[in-house]
Chains A and B, each alone.
Chain A
Amino acid sequence: MDDLSPLELWLSQRRLVVCVGAGGVGKTTTSAAIGLRAARLGRRVVVLTIDPARRLADALGLDMLDGTPRAIAGAGPGQLWAGMLDSRAAFDNLIAKVAPDEETRDRVLGNHVYRHMADTLAGSQDYMASELLHDLVDDDRWDLVVLDTAPVKNALDFLEAPGRLVRFLDERVLGWFLPARGGLWFAGPVNVVQRLLGVVFGADFVTDLGAFFSDFQGMVAGFLARHEAVLARLRAPETGFVTVAAPHPNGLDVALWFQEELGRRDLPRAGIVANQVHRVAVTDHDARGALGEAVADLGADLPPTAAAQLLARLSMAHRRLAALATAQAERLRPLRAAASPGFYVEVPRLDDDVNDLDGLDRIGDSLFGRPLKSESPR
């Protein structure tokens, strides 16, 4: 283990890795490959995804992914676990955690306003991601958490979601709804804000909200404390944000945007992974030279037109692939600069789909710059 690549060394010192990037850039696959490599290096890892695609579950040899992380066979010598985010359940759990007593908890969970707000908040899976990872990083079962965030620019909103919640519940707002000291709810003189809210939202909503707030006020401190703890965790030196990109315009723009945004928010930028990169070495696009004989041999039993058509097709395809590779190299250039002083790694597009741990190991080989096979033959 003393001949780790620089990136493996980086990984071995992390407790939390967060992958961000646009949709379709291979973020889930990268998260899984990072988690698997850490497990190969002997660590106990959980990969959390918000991606319900079957393919990842299949690649990991699981029937399904759900809210309960499961251990994956064959990822040794360490351990690899994987799970999905169950955001609604996570939110109810959070309420249960910060509620001062069971009675308050039940009243809040049953409140008309809460049920709607929970859907809105729970709909923001990133918020729940930040909540869940707080517990998972502390969980003794694992020493590394890899988080795959939602493929949207507002993925980083999860950093602000608890803040938004707390602002929603800030003292001034609570003051509009809560009874004056010793008085009854809404018994005092109706102030202008209450009247406004009544006009805008309707009196029933204001009443529902008042009931909700009077139960919720005791929890504000709990939310704030958790928010602070989550932020501290995300900014900790043993956390790393990995920006995942791919050489299509959206994938690139979003990656550059994330890279800037992470810096602005003072979050530890680890580097950029560019996936799905095409590489072409041959400059002569005529397939006849390289493949003429092989095609004639292998196609002897097929109509002669098939061989000619295929050679023409491969020549065209190679020409197109070379043009694409050139365009990609040009497009990827700004990423290298944006990644500095962090790492910048290109992962070539694999010929076959990644549908098992072997495939993820091969991605890991490119990603971490060291083939696993030389270390531990499989």
Chain B
Amino acid sequence: MSDDRAEIAGLLAGRLALVTGKGGTGKTTFASALAMLAAAEGRRVLLAEVDAKHPSLPVIFGAGGSWEPVSVRPNLDVANLTWQEALGAFLERVVPSRRLVGAVLSNAALARFLDFTPGSRELVTLSAVEQHTSRYDLVVVDMPASGHALSLLDVTRSALGLFRSGPIRQRAAQLRDRILHIDTHVVLVALPEEMVVSETIETAERLGAIGLLSRPPQIFLNRATPPTMTEDEGTLLARLAEAPLSDAGREFVRAGRWEAAMEAASAAAMAGIEAGCGRVPIPVHAMAPDASPTQVVQEVAVALGRRVGRARSEVEWTT
């Protein structure tokens, strides 16, 4: 637990936290919970999603979803890094003349061309993220699923290969340098499922190969089930599973085996990730099945807060 404490405290004290993972693992939940917790610690936080057509953060916070950051609670702003606006901000940065920027943005064919130019979306997004880091203490990004997140993080390298000269090359080099030198963390959210565990390990390896980060990713195991079943209980349950039983009896055994399987899957995921990534993941336990997205975010924030010595009342907010 003391390791968990240092890891979470490090995340909360960092400058940039990029949250990714396989689809459906709870990236948005963890990004939101980390942002909430850091805001509760008194840091000025921006929580951003990347060009979301159907923004998820407003579902949780009741506001946000636009390019301009919106305050959703003390110290916490929420934004959506939309492509058009990010492109405008990017061009203003790399092109010396406002008139030229206007000409580019107003040319529909050219805008389409930029949209499709390899890596331009990623570079523009990363640039917007980096610009926000100078305005906030901490920027938490709810990244796309791991495959797309990797190409986003790798774009500075591919842009340096593609653009042999010019302002985009300069900006890519600058971004690479900045992200390497500010306190950047990557958070991978995993689930106790075999497919998710193997993708998490692969993502961690590929992140290392990109070489953009000064530290390995922090991994959270979402929806983990703590081990509570004793060996004797397990033996007895296994015998029951083989025995002839009434339909009702079989249903109880099914319920028990289902929970035992969840415990086993969590233990296997913890061990698998530790073996594959060399780091022990931080488990966060399963929530009630009928909790709303907002409640789930609050509960995850409370669970993470508890590990850095925060009481529920310090983290929770009421609307």
Cβ contact of A250, chosen from B24, B100, B162, B257, cutoff 8 A: B24
- DSSP class of A's interface residues: helix, strand, loop or mixed? helix
How far apart are A331's CB and chain B's nearest CB, in angstroms? Answer: 9
In the complex, the answer to whether B109 meets A294 with C-beta atoms within 8 Å is no
In the complex, the answer to whether B118 meets A117 with C-beta atoms within 8 Å is yes
Q: Report the interface size class on chain A.
A: 35 or more
- CB within 8 Å of B: which residues of A? 22-25, 51-55, 112-113, 116-117, 119-121, 123, 150-153, 164-165, 167-168, 170, 172-173, 192-193, 196-205, 208, 248-251, 254, 257, 278, 280-282, 287, 289-291, 294-295, 298-299, 302-303, 305-307, 309-310, 313-315, 317-318, 320-321, 323-324, 327-328, 349, 351
Which residues of B sit under 8 angstroms from A153, Cβ to Cβ? Answer: 53-54
Q: Quick one: given A123-B151, A309-B233, are A22 and B164 in contact (CB under 8 Å)?
A: no
Which residues of A sit under 8 angstroms from B256, Cβ to Cβ? Answer: 310, 313-314, 317-318
Most buried by B among A51, A291, A323, A328: A291
Which residues of B sit under 8 angstroms from A351, Cβ to Cβ? Answer: 254, 257-258
In the complex, the answer to whether A193 meets B168 with C-beta atoms within 8 Å is no
In the complex, the answer to whether B165 meets A204 with C-beta atoms within 8 Å is yes
Which residues of B sit under 8 angstroms from A309, Cβ to Cβ? Answer: 230, 232-233
In the complex, the answer to whether B289 meets A327 with C-beta atoms within 8 Å is yes
Q: Quick one: given A196-B103, A309-B230, A310-B236, are A287 and B116 in contact (CB under 8 Å)?
A: no
The count of chain B contact residues (Cβ–Cβ below 8 Å) is: 73
A204 to B163 Cα, complex, angstroms: 7
Which residues of B sit under 8 angstroms from A257, Cβ to Cβ? Answer: 54
In the complex, the answer to whether A280 meets B167 with C-beta atoms within 8 Å is no
How far apart are B265's CB and chain A's nearest CB, in angstroms? Answer: 10
Other than A290-B248, A291-B253, A323-B290, give 19 A-B pairs with Cβ distance below 8 A: A23-B145, A24-B22, A151-B23, A152-B145, A165-B116, A167-B116, A170-B112, A172-B109, A193-B107, A201-B117, A201-B166, A204-B163, A249-B293, A282-B252, A290-B245, A295-B240, A318-B256, A327-B290, A351-B254
Check B169 for interface membership: any CB of A closer than 8 A: yes
Q: Quick one: given A200-B104, A201-B163, are A291 and B198 in contact (CB under 8 Å)?
A: no
In the complex, the answer to whether A24 meets B24 with C-beta atoms within 8 Å is yes
In the complex, the answer to whether B162 meets A291 with C-beta atoms within 8 Å is no
- Which 7 residue pairs are nearest across A and B when measured between Cβ atoms? A202-B166, A23-B23, A306-B232, A23-B24, A168-B116, A204-B164, A317-B255
